[in-house]
Amino acid sequence: MLAMKDKPWLLLFGLLAALSCLASFGDAAYPYYGTKIGALTRLHHGVSGDVYAVDSRTIFIKKFNYDGEAPAAYFYVGNTARPSNEGAARLRDERGGTASLTRRYRNKDVTLSLPEGKTLRDIKWFSVWCDEFAVNFGDVSIPPNLDFPRPQKISALRGVHGVSSDNIVIVDAQTLLVPNFSYDGEAPDAKFWVGRGQRPTSDGLRIPDENGKENPLRRYERKTIVLTLPEDLTIFDIGHFGVWCEAFTVDFGHVRLPEGLNVPPSLKMLGISPQSKLNCEVLYDDLAFEVRWAVAGESIVVQLVAKLEPNHYMSFGISPNKNISQMIGADAVVAWVDPQTGNGFATDYFLEGKAQCSGGRGACPDTKISEKTNSIRLLNAAMVNGYSIVTYQRSLAATDRLDLPISITGAESVVWAIGPLNDYQEVSFHTFYNKHLHQIEFGRQPKWNCPLPEGARGNSNSSEQEDSAPAAQSSTGGAGYPPAGRPNVEPDEEFYENRAEALHRQPPQRRQETAIITQRRPVPTPKPVNSNGAWDIPAIQCHEPEDGVFYAQMGPTGGKHGYPAITGHVGWGISWYINGLLIPEIHVVRGKTYTFVVEGGNNPDIPAKYHPFYISDDPVGGYEHKREEEKKAVRIYAGVHRSRSGQVTPTGVGRLCNWTPDVEGPPADDYQSFGAYQRTLTLKCDAGEPGVITWKPDRNTPDTVYYHCFTHRYLGWKIHVHDSCDSEAGGLKGAASERHEIRLPAKATVAEPAPVHEDYAGEASVRHETKMASALLRLSRRAY
């Protein structure tokens, strides 16, 4: 039997059971409703019904009747000698409402919960009481020694093939919780198995796994799982549970179920849908992204569900600003399920900045910022019919300086996002996120505002047809569901200034006035798309530009056709643009001096706006945050200064210029060519001066080097180094790209963005060069 110190877990077990059986709910006709307390006395207004104790805090009335004609009738419990509203506690009705009972009940099954902090041991009676006339319409006495049902702990699994677990918990008459279950996955036909008697035999029954499947079990390593007995089967019908190899009739390990276990009935046995005990809100309808939750004492249990692409995450968190859904400074959980292993992950994140995690700055797991700060406990994870489902628990209070509290007394502004994971299994730039205010009341009475899972339906006994609640809206267009906008490839400027104060070592500098440079571009002949989906980005040939000057600026990765398709790596949402082209391959010649005019940002206090340019033999980039042994293996050819002590400082630093997409236009994925997408971009530059570095490749320079960001990984691409520029090896294959000049005025002004072409199927790319004042080109020419 569970000790009293385990009481907070009782509710948690119930929530796990409810969350696990959302897709398997159906009708059931069982004679078991818990421990019978007695029948209501029939005093007035036709009150009658049989009262049961479901668990320590739940009362079930079978076939409740009441004519609904009294002016102020309520459900009450108390510990006085006789029923009265003096010092008694009024209960919410079966819907969670607080209004008086004005509707009629005819043989309705009603489930009621006691107030927080009270159990059946604290009360002596239950009554239907009229406040206006102080009249008891019917009551039942609660015996002082009532043995109410509760979850029960039994033995742990121990067996062959690595089968093991902690003590199994019988949550209710149809639900088993198996903590830290392990199995090596080596047998060909292992199943979860139950049957009559004390030992498993081939006459037993297989039961579905935690995903509702009856396939042979895969490998498990200390995974907590919730299993639901199928159909009408209950723990009262079986004598054992274990793992059984059906093909070879071998027992891999089992536990006996003691007779006469006094456990609660399942929700299904009471005719209650799991949705009636849980909250749910739709976050992004296109990917069926939902958040489900229930408050359990001082903590909250959350389940995230979405139809994700492989190697993608879903995240959900609390905004630091009560009035807006603000990413920067948010406390979020990043969750995903590995489709190969079935293992789930839920990681505590602090969004210090809108950049990939680097040196504890940006969108980082809490533990990358400060040790022992992961406040998330993974409870369960599953992949069901292509849907990733992750259930986790966290405290309502903030447990460390990186956490935000969750209020249950008012609305909280929330943030969410979906996107790819990088090579470190950390978040890359999100593909979808909420661009508008989205608020949730976590402490509300349970309300299911999501489409019902397949096979689930509401409680037919809850109320009359005319009193039923309206159907939940399944799209993001209803109240409380702001439409999820198209992804912003480049973050809004406001995010940079609304940074969280928790980790700031110094206040951010005020943003300088922004200058915008723009130009209209001609429409060239369309080009076919590469077979792998990558855009065809024209290389910069070794004979161009004639003056050997390259302009390095930032811009969007171009969605699925851009950076990830071209390089095979997950991008962060921003990349280098060289002479207006998205990460082009550059061809250079040994012995010639090249100049890079760098406009990647110069404010190190805002990592998302600080991208020093450098050239090395490392295909990854992000030199600043590599380990010392990794740095030793990297040769840098341009963009840094080495002090006598060996300290490496980036020199390719200048104002920030961004090629910015039209937020009202189609997403990058809709464009079949970079040329078409390129014509929707507008160059926006902060006031200030660019950085300038020079580089002269020589005979010691490898044939392939890479341009990258000094502080972030995977923002650049390849440079091919040749001995001469007189052959295909020198980059002359194919016609040169069209040249289009831009002149930068001393004080740039805002111009109209280039129009979106109606047909964005395929257009050639345009190479851009910028003529700058000679004084600018004389700035700080360095060998590195």
Statement: residue 300 has pLDDT above 70: yes
604 vs 769, more confident: 604
Average pLDDT over residues 507-533: 39
Statement: residue 327 has pLDDT above 80: yes
Do 335 and 482 lie in one domain? The reply is: yes
Average pLDDT over residues 554-578: 88
Q: What is the pLDDT of residue 385?
A: 79
Least confident of 473-477, 714-718, 732-736: 473-477
- Per-residue confidence band for 662, with pLDDT thresholds at 50, 70 and 90: confident
Q: What is the pLDDT of residue 704?
A: 96
Is the whole model's pTM more than 0.85, yes or no?
A: no
Q: What is the pLDDT of residue 458?
A: 45
Most confident of 275-289, 420-434, 581-595: 581-595
Q: Which of 713, 723, 689 is nearest to 614 (CA)?
A: 713
512 vs 227, more confident: 227
Q: What is the pLDDT of residue 5?
A: 39
* Measured distance CA(520)–CA(459) in Å, rounded: 61
Has residue 366 been placed in a domain? yes
**Non-local CB neighbours of 648 within 8 Å, separated by 6+ positions:** 623, 631, 636, 640, 641, 642
Q: Quick one: tokens of 27? A: 């009708």
C-alpha 140, offset from chain centre: 47
- Per-residue confidence band for 142, with pLDDT thresholds at 50, 70 and 90: very high
141, 169, 194: which is the final residue of a domain? 141
Least confident of 408-412, 508-512, 584-588: 508-512
Q: Quick one: tokens of 504? A: 């700031």
Answer whether 112's CB lies under 8 Å from 91's CB: yes
Instruction: Convert 628-659 to b/e letters by CB count within 10 Å (16 or more is b).
Output: eeeeeeeebbbbbeeeeeeebebbbbbbbbbb
Q: In Å, what is the CA distance from 354 to each residue of 31, 40, 345, 574?
A: 57, 61, 22, 11
How do 331-337 and 432-433 pair as beta strands? unpaired
532 vs 61, more confident: 61
Instruction: Convert 491-508 to b/e letters by CB count within 10 Å (16 or more is b).
Output: beeebbebbbeebeeeee
Do 605 and 687 lie in one domain? The reply is: yes
Q: What is the pLDDT of residue 635?
A: 95
Peptide bond into 230 cis (omega under 30): no
Count of C-beta atoms within a 10 Å radius of residue 89: 16
Q: What is the pLDDT of residue 742?
A: 40
Number of domains in the chain: 4
270, 287, 303: which is the final residue of a domain? 270
Q: Specify the length of the chain in residues.
A: 784
Q: What is the pLDDT of residue 627?
A: 87
The H or E element spanning position 11 is helix 7-20
* Measured distance CA(148)–CA(370) in Å, rounded: 45
Answer whether 681's CB lies under 8 Å from 714's CB: no
Average pLDDT over residues 103-120: 91
What percentage of the chain's residues is helix, strand, coil (to nearest 5)?
A: 10, 35, 55
Adjacent-strand bridge partners of 72: none
Do 231 and 100 lie in one domain? The reply is: no
**Non-local CB neighbours of 465 within 8 Å, separated by 6+ positions:** none
Q: In Å, what is the CA distance from 439 to each residue of 26, 282, 375, 413, 584?
A: 32, 12, 22, 4, 42
Q: Is 132 exposed, middle or buried (0-12, 13-18, 19+ CB in 10 A)?
A: exposed
Do 360 and 485 lie in one domain? The reply is: yes
Q: Quick one: tokens of 165? A: 């677990």
Answer whether 137's CB lies under 8 Å from 70's CB: yes
Q: What is the pLDDT of residue 379?
A: 80
Most confident of 217-226, 371-380, 394-403: 394-403
Q: What is the pLDDT of residue 665?
A: 83
Q: Quick one: tokens of 719? A: 């440079």
Do 595 and 730 lie in one domain? The reply is: yes
Q: What are phi and psi of 458, to 5 degrees?
A: -70, 170
Answer whether 717's CB lies under 8 Å from 639's CB: no
Q: Quick one: tokens of 108? A: 């309705």
Measured torsion, CA atoms of residues 635, 637, 643, 646, in degrees rounded to the nearest 10: 0
- Per-residue confidence band for 28, with pLDDT thresholds at 50, 70 and 90: very low
Statement: residue 275 has pLDDT above 80: no
* Measured distance CA(196)–CA(237) in Å, rounded: 7
Statement: residue 752 has pLDDT above 70: no
| CATH number for the domain that contains residue 323 | 2.60.40.1210
Do 318 and 226 lie in one domain? The reply is: no
Has residue 474 been placed in a domain? yes
Average pLDDT over residues 622-651: 91
Average pLDDT over residues 203-222: 89
Q: Which of 224, 223, 219 is nearest to 184 (CA)?
A: 219
* Measured distance CA(95)–CA(43) in Å, rounded: 25
Mean pLDDT, the chain, whole residue set: 80
* Measured distance CA(768)–CA(659) in Å, rounded: 12
Q: Is 244 helix (H, G, I), strand (E, B) or coil?
A: strand
Q: Which of 409, 408, 433, 439 is nearest to 419 (CA)?
A: 433
31 vs 373, more confident: 373
Q: What are phi and psi of 757, to 5 degrees?
A: -70, 140
Count of C-beta atoms within a 10 Å radius of residue 231: 11
Do 555 and 532 lie in one domain? The reply is: yes
Strands (DSSP E) contained in 385-438 are 387-395, 412-420, 432-433
318 vs 273, more confident: 318
Provide the percentage of residues in the chain whose pLDDT is more than 90: 52
Q: Residue type at 330? A: A
Q: In Å, what is the CA distance from 326 to each residue of 129, 233, 329, 402, 498?
A: 48, 48, 7, 15, 8
Average pLDDT over residues 97-119: 90
Has residue 582 been placed in a domain? yes
- Per-residue confidence band for 763, with pLDDT thresholds at 50, 70 and 90: low
Has residue 503 been placed in a domain? no
Do 66 and 119 lie in one domain? The reply is: yes
Do 626 and 491 lie in one domain? The reply is: no
Statement: residue 770 has pLDDT above 80: no
625 vs 167, more confident: 167
Q: Quick one: tokens of 634? A: 């990297």
- Per-residue confidence band for 766, with pLDDT thresholds at 50, 70 and 90: low
- Per-residue confidence band for 430, with pLDDT thresholds at 50, 70 and 90: confident
Answer whether 476's CB lies under 8 Å from 483's CB: yes
Has residue 695 been placed in a domain? yes
* Measured distance CA(379)–CA(374) in Å, rounded: 14
Average pLDDT over residues 554-571: 88
Report angle CA 55, 408, 152 to the nearest 5 degrees. Answer: 20
Q: What is the pLDDT of residue 382?
A: 80
Max CA separation in the chain (angstroms): 105
Has residue 505 been placed in a domain? no
Statement: residue 296 has pLDDT above 50: yes
Has residue 566 been placed in a domain? yes
How do 586-589 and 718-722 pair as beta strands? parallel
- Per-residue confidence band for 66, with pLDDT thresholds at 50, 70 and 90: very high
Average pLDDT over residues 694-701: 95
541 vs 509, more confident: 541
Do 132 and 261 lie in one domain? The reply is: no
Do 602 and 731 lie in one domain? The reply is: yes
**Non-local CB neighbours of 384 within 8 Å, separated by 6+ positions:** 23, 211, 212
Has residue 509 been placed in a domain? no
Q: What is the pLDDT of residue 486?
A: 31
141, 159, 192: which is the final residue of a domain? 141
Domain hosting 698: range is 514-777
Q: What are phi and psi of 275, to 5 degrees?
A: -60, -30
Do 658 and 764 lie in one domain? The reply is: yes
